[in-house]
Amino acid sequence: VPCVIVSLVPPQSCQCLAWKPRSMGVWGAESQHVVAGYSDGTVRVFSVSRTEMELKMHPHAAALTAITYSTDGEMILSGGKDGLVAVSSPRTGMTIHVLADHKGSPITALQCTRKQYHDFGMEGGELWLATSSDRRVSVWASDWLQDKCELLDWLSFPAPAGPEGLDSLPPSLAAFCPWEHGVLVYVGFGMHKEALFYSLRKKQVLRKISLPAFATSLSLSPAAPFMAIGFGDRLLRLQPCPAGDPQDYAGHDDTVHLCRFAPSGRRLLTASHSAVLVWELTGG
């Protein structure tokens, strides 16, 4: 399938992609879709079963750097190299929101999660976050049917001046914590090599976990209190939370630039320059 998708748009480079969440109905082949963001600022939706493009939108003037679906699959959130975040409808092909809060700094991560109606005293059925390379994270409460999108929190993490001779800094990454409600995890270039657990309710960092180096990728297990963290020295770490002895694994040929848990939490996908590894997670 990836080969077919690439061949459909040969002049452009695919920069990011995401699977459409499972619908409430039967999970059949016809319901499988993937959305991809490209270097020309376009967003394309592909049918996996038919191996064809179903929709093309152009919400960005710059290359895309991050993309995701809303939790119900009814909206596509995309972030660009220029720091703009667009919210588009795959049903109509229309872009309904463009947020410029991160303008000027590439978007490095986008994620959505469901929330209770009265969580945090705001209306809406979904929380989502955007992270940019300048170490800023914005958190939003949204009700797409009511055309509401309200800023819940704005985080800015300090860092020293960039080290000499380093062409690019480690990415700024954030993710909602599946096993701890109202908490997000942040990693990035900063004063210390660590993962920060931030409470959206208390508006403060709850705890920190020291890391051997600045992280290059991050994923949180949906099934158990574990984090997968990739590093630039070909190392993959499985970190129990909130405390516990980490497990380190080698096997990559370069920087571990992608970690992604499967929805079941039983498998982990990791990628480096020319290696894609699938890990089977066992034990309690």
pLDDT of residue 160: 87
**CB neighbours of residue 99 within 10 Å:** 18
> Which strands sit side by side in the sheet containing 204-210, from one edge to the other?
173-176, 183-187, 194-199, 204-210
User: Tokens 């963001």 sit at which residue?
Assistant: 37
User: Tokens 């092909």 sit at which residue?
Assistant: 93
pLDDT of residue 31: 55
Classify the C-alpha dihedral 175-78-216-189 as positive or negative: negative
Compute the distance between CA of residue 151 and CA of residue 137 in angstroms, rounded to an integer: 11
Q: From first to last of its 284 residues, what are the pLDDT tens digits of the chain?
A: 344 444 455 567 888 888 888 754 444 444 588 899 999 999 999 987 777 899 999 999 999 999 999 999 999 999 999 999 999 999 999 999 999 999 999 999 999 998 766 678 777 789 999 999 999 999 999 988 888 899 999 999 998 876 654 457 899 999 999 999 899 999 999 999 999 999 999 999 999 999 999 999 999 999 899 999 999 989 999 999 988 899 999 878 889 998 989 888 888 989 888 788 888 887 65
Distances (CA, A) of 36 to 59, 170, 237: 13, 23, 28
Residue 131 has φ and ψ, to the nearest 5°, of: -120, 140
Run of H or E residues at 6: helix 2-8
Compute the distance between CA of residue 21 and CA of residue 158 in angstroms, rounded to an integer: 34
Angle at 197 between CA 162 and CA 235, to 5 degrees: 60
pLDDT of residue 167: 56
Helix, strand counts (H, E) of the chain: 1, 23
pLDDT of residue 4: 41
Nearest one of 91, 87, 94 to 110, comparing CA atoms: 87
The residues pairing with 215 across neighbouring beta strands, listed in sequence order, are: 231
Run of H or E residues at 174: strand 173-176
pLDDT of residue 29: 44
Query: Long-range contacts for 57-61 (Cβ within 8 Å, ≥24 apart)?
Result: 57/88, 57/93, 57/95, 59/86, 59/88, 59/95, 59/98, 60/84, 60/86
pLDDT of residue 117: 61
Query: Long-range contacts for 265-269 (Cβ within 8 Å, ≥24 apart)?
Result: 265/221, 265/222, 265/223, 265/224, 265/226, 266/223, 268/219, 268/228
Distances (CA, A) of 188 to 134, 194, 199: 10, 8, 17
pLDDT of residue 164: 55
Residue 191 has which token pair?
A: 């004063």
